[in-house]
Structure 1
Amino acid sequence: MFLHIDIDSFFVSAERSRDPGLRGVPVAVGGRSNLEIFSTRRTHIRLMDENRGAFVAPVFYSDRRKSFEEHFIDRIDGRRKIRGIVTTSSYEARERGVRTGMPLAQALRLVPELIVVPNDMLFYHRLSHALALFLAREIPALEQFSIDEFFGDLRGWISDGESEAFAIRLQERIFHRFHLPVSIGIARSKWTAKLATEYAKPYGVLRVDDVKEFIREIPIEKFPGIGRGYRCRLEARGIRTLGELIPLQKLFESWGEPGRQLYRRILGIDDEGIARHPSRQSVGISRTFDPVTDPGEVRRRIMVMARHVAYITLKLGANPTRYFLKINYASGLRAKEGVRVERIFSEALLKAELSKLFDRLHRPGEGAVKLSLSVSDFTHLHPRTLSLLEFEADRKARAITEKMQQIRERFGLDAIRTGNELLHSHT
């Protein structure tokens, strides 16, 4: 049997684990884009990257926590304006309409007594990592899927008949040790177990033995892996529930291997195991901010974000060969483009290529409101022949990047910054 373990309302539960006064009342953890990285002053930002998982993003942090006023309040023309969104809300808040992604100002209008806590991603990542270490001692075959989700393979460790009792004991031990409520799904397929967890919440345990019966009335969008594309295809055929997919094997096969794999997952016959040490497929970072029309400032922010992407990439020991830039504008326009760069990776090379991409994507007069950068196609995952023409120059640039990496690891990510991160360059 497989287990899927999901921490209920993780960020809120984490805050409650260290502040019991938050229990039983409506609480929301709020967030804003961390724009501190764009400061030209030293911020002593560091990286926390101990967690591993398919959907575990690294976190950049500084040691100083901000108060509600510092984090969420902007003063514009003498007026007090609440900024930020709900990252996670407690069940008490959800019952009154507070939802993830909702503007905090709206959430506070709905629930005036709502307690809003600024998110503390460093604490959440450290708590998640501590839980992962604990679970690894309880379940030898463990996969961290996200910051608040884990898969466990009980085969050869706990008999099928004992799996539910084991899950209940594990749930109790987690709460006793970490004060974290978790829900657990149990099934012979990891993806069925993940789906079961959604119906075990909050703080429940649900075992699924008959997959076809279990999925019969579940909406198709509830299944992990049925994204917008597949949902549109299926809804166009009038299909609304997972049960309606059972006789449609040939349809899924017509969509190639991804379709065949999805069908097997839905029916719980995929036979996929645990990814104990999942390889990160890409590295990325994004930031949302008020509209910026100055192209020099937008370029500068891209260079700052490139430093952070380069730092993570070197921590992984990766050599990406594809760089990607996306710019969202206030008008709703989205401009994106990628480039293949089969060379030795360095911070200087990344910044040079992203600057070229920006030149092609920039829309004069438009206000940029979001930047997204990523690198992917790592050579250790997809072997390639790197260019020999720039080999010597690239090797030297990589050596310089590695020296900067050592200084940043000791003194913080902004201990060394390049000139194009400090000045508004219009060139």
Structure 2
Amino acid sequence: MLIKSIFTNSSGILLSRILGFIRDLLTASILGANIYSDIFFVAFKIPNLFRRIFAEGAFTQAFIPSYAKSKYKIRFSSVIFLQLIAFLILLSLIVTLFSSLITKAVAFGFDDKTIDLASPLVAINFYYLPLIFIVTFMAALLQYKNHFATTAFSTSLLNLSLIAALIISKNYDKYEITFYLSYGVLIGGILQIAVHLLAIKKYNLCKIFTFKRHEKKEENRFYKNFFAATMGSSTAHLSAFLDTWLASFLVTGSISYLYYANRVFQLPLALFAIATSVALFPMIARAIKNKDENKALQLMKKSSLILFSLLLIATLIGIILNDEIIWLLFERGAFSSIDTSNTALILTMYLIGLLPYGLAKIFSLWLYAKEEQFLAAKISVKSLGANIVFSLILIGPYEAAGLAFASTLSGFILFFLTLKAFGFKRLKTLYFM
């Protein structure tokens, strides 16, 4: 079951990433690495940051253990859904009203003209967040039923939507193209909702939308874990967000170099680490709920050994062939050979941290399944604090490459602290006894 689930997730992620690279290839060719690509990536990064922290990371990590223990699952899930979707819609409206201020806060180094260009895009893209939360909510329920295929493959719909937007608008003004891309983001979210609704109906889970009242105790337990998990799952995403904010002070194109390099870095991380953790987490949560820690530990051991081998191979290949990879994927049209060299260097800095970031995901599942979200949150805050310090130290002499390496260093700290929380004694017993 575990291997099958990992394979399903990996296949879906691989298809999505292939389409994502086609999307990035077209984006690099049509927009290049300049002010227009920078403002779109900033606008798209904001909802993506919230999506990865709140929707995909924190929500799933808090929801599945709480849902597993809930006596009244339909009532519990329906109320949580209604409360959070209402909050996200309200938040999106606030962002629309104050889009200039939000943009200024996110890209503080942008001048007033660039802020004016980016603000409408920020407002449009932010509505992707409530759309993708609906998807994530339904995906969590399907994961609990050991159904992963719909969620794994539906992520391709966003990339298909953006590819269509680029093809349709390729001969238009570059600023106009960014609007087509922004509306393509929303269409992609709507398509993902549609396919999840079909799966929800198939698995007879439509009753989650009945919105019945339930015990306040269950709700309070979820939100306690959710807010802690929000911090605990935020390190890598806030690091990338920090990179964007600081890179706005560097030469034009720096944000795009970081984006393209991070996209390549995210492929093995998603294909192996995220696919494994998504498949593993419901199994560990159920095993711990049933007080079968030995089964949970054996699942972690098997998964971590497989993951270590895959990530090590990916790291070596990526570092050795960094220039060739960036050249093959992006160097055409408006993306020059200088852009390739700059992006390849940053890719290497990110890849050094692939193993610690990937393995930390597996061992953090133990904490989330045991509902120790506050401990995971403390670890995340310490790692993020280190990332801020390293970024400020390294941005001066090494610019964008220094920001990427600062993120990598914080990944090693995250991994060490996660292993410490898991227990070095337990770790030694797991692998060597």
Which of the two has greater helix per residue? 2
TM-score (norm 2): 0.26
Normalising by the residue count of structure 1, what TM-score does the alignment of the two structures yield? 0.26
Larger radius of gyration: 1
Higher RCO structure (Cα 8 Å, ≥6 apart):
2
